[in-house]
Structure 1
């Protein structure tokens, strides 16, 4: 945008806001930005070049993107039924598992025939759940959770008292995996339920660090729901408690992993709110925690460590619109030792950064590499599909066969 275009755009935003009797503060709250950001947009100081931010602003004003920027091509309705069923995704079966009470028959004193399984069998099943989660194999995950969650819920109520703390821990870990998967599939209300159940089960297990790991999953769900105040509250109260626990040179690395992960989710909260200074501050605090650990770890399946902090720094930079910084940081990262999900997430965010720079060829290459690693994250993640749509809109009729095919596979055609 030229300065004149920015001022004209800002005037249009201000006019539409006033027509709806909204204050700058009310509009800012509706789109999870600050009143200062809205003021800068209306004065032509803050450009709005990214399509996702333009959509967000249009939604907050209750108008179409074309009302704000007539030159942007019209898109198909985002809530239109999809070819494979309205609102369906690979975790539909898992969503049913958290609907209602998991074992109502036990409440009425009925003991089903058959065993819920031995502890070694249940431990192996939960490890398998996390393998599928880290690999973004959501269809298999959903199928595995169907029988496992009721088995664990039955076990914590009927097993001998000596076994219940470990069974509660296994149940919490299962719900944590489910919450993580729901967030990635853009099903945050289900993630909220799963994370809340994970917190309760972790407390019953007597493992407080698992409680805080579950709070991390809850904060992620709040971020995806755009409940940034709730996300900040949940993460900040947890950080304050864990930070006191980790003071001193002998802090447990497991506790540091939780602290660092909570710092990263706070960085994301501030990035989504458009607060660049606080987002960078929390990212640097996470780096400090990672340096204290000194290695990449996977405590509580958080994959926290120096490498993951940099992967998250790329994501934060993309959220802030700092594409050049995201690309420079991402190009120096070797994520090969981390999970497939983390590797694919880095490539997806690099694709988003290149798309922001209008480097469509590089963006497509990153997305295709991510798809090869973890197809489901590219086909289902809201950020990935949004980037593919944006690439298609920019390319128009000159879109390459590879891009058209990717858009078809991700059902992300404009």
Structure 2
């Protein structure tokens, strides 16, 4: 294990013990199981950027104790735009970022500050056209706020994310507009793109047309940055919006074209390329193009097997487990869920890094069993979704799946209570 991971683990363990908290208590707040916290403290599990600052904020670890040498390699605005920056510049930038994000993380945890106090928008699309007034902020602070927002998405804290996003987007745009041309302007544009990517992801969860608006703005900002990774991230969410509106063929064309432009031999760009191939496979399956779907899935699998996983990608990581989850989704979409049963049997959902991804995996497994007519297995998977992410199971798609199961021919013990709890059964 790396010395940096050991140092971080020891620092977190010491701070937790000083506050007389259990690993379970820390994990509950920070979105990890007690066993995962144990592995983090032992230096056996790497934290992504947003998770690190959330742990630090909750445990009251001063930013100056998070020395640059102990910060794990993570994908953030500085690294994707890194180019030929010297080691000294990288160290200075990491220290600046930690100083900014520690304050942002503390705000997110304790609920202070104007962004946390804002009420959730009634209509995400309307809020995108009526962004609040905002002043430019230091770029490190902006990067920190986006890291925290990403962490909320990955932890399925959708209500909190919805409250924060309008102000975050407004701040990102104000910062970009006030930044002169050059590397800083590119990084500010990436920040804008990533704020809109989160908005598009959230809108897609809500089945909102705002996904189109946010994804289009994300791609525009990403292209202006000139950073391939940001362009890939934004292209993926735009393709999802296209697919959901019935334009699967166009979505596949966009994804494959963008994937061609990413260097498969570089860790970050290669990993993002793999996620584009996975989304392309699912989009092709939505268009009932089995040949293209399986070809893209196979290519993504080969890429995932060829290199170690890159931790800290924005919302989806390119791992073999993630490929297996997409394979289940592709088979469901193609109308051949029986072909996914063996894959699901060998799936270890615990290998997925975030509650959002684990909930998505269990959702695909639930859909598989539902299509095969197995009510009890479907319900078991739905309960796993709720265990991983309580807000996820209340999404429209999950409520519809629960309601369909409730009013189906099979009587499943406990299902009615579950439906009432999750909003699938009207009071």
Task: Give TM-score, length-normalised by structure 2.
Answer: 0.66
2:199 aligned residue: 178
Tell whether 2:340 aligns with 1:332. no
1:291 aligned residue: 305
Distance 1:279 1:350 in 2: 19
SS of equivalent to 1:394: coil
Tell whether 2:254 aligns with 1:234. yes
SS of equivalent to 1:375: coil
2:388 aligned residue: 373
Equivalent residue runs for 1:220-259 within 5 Å: 220-242=240-262, 245-246=263-264, 251-259=265-273
Which of 291, 295, 304 matches 1:281? 295
The CA deviation at 1:208 is 2.4
2:106 aligned residue: none
How has the CA–CA distance of structure 1 residues 92 and 120 changed in structure 2, closer, same or farther, with 3 Å as cutoff?
A: same
Which of 178, 186, 193 matches 2:213? 193
The CA deviation at 1:132 is 1.0
Task: Give TM-score, length-normalised by structure 1.
Answer: 0.68
Stretches of structure 1 lacking an aligned partner (at least 5 in a row): 1-89, 106-111
Contact 2:375/2:412, CA 8 A, preserved across alignment = no
Distance 1:169 1:358 in 2: 45
Tell whether 2:381 aligns with 1:359. no
1:253-279 deviation digits (Å, cap 9, x = unpaired):
111112211111221122112232322
1:294-333 deviation digits (Å, cap 9, x = unpaired):
3353433331121111111111112223323323212212
1:99 aligned residue: 129
Equivalent residue runs for 1:203-214 within 5 Å: 203-214=223-234
SS of equivalent to 2:162: helix
Provide the alpha-carbon RMSD of the alignment. Answer: 2.4
Which of 174, 183, 190 matches 1:154? 174
Stretches of structure 2 lacking an aligned partner (at least 5 in a row): 1-119
Number of residue-to-residue matches in the alignment: 306
How has the CA–CA distance of structure 1 residues 233 and 91 changed in structure 2, closer, same or farther, with 3 Å as cutoff?
A: farther
Distance 1:91 1:132 in 2: 17
1:66 aligned residue: none
1:219 aligned residue: 239
Distance 1:129 1:172 in 2: 13
2:23 aligned residue: none
The CA deviation at 1:220 is 0.9
1:168 aligned residue: 189
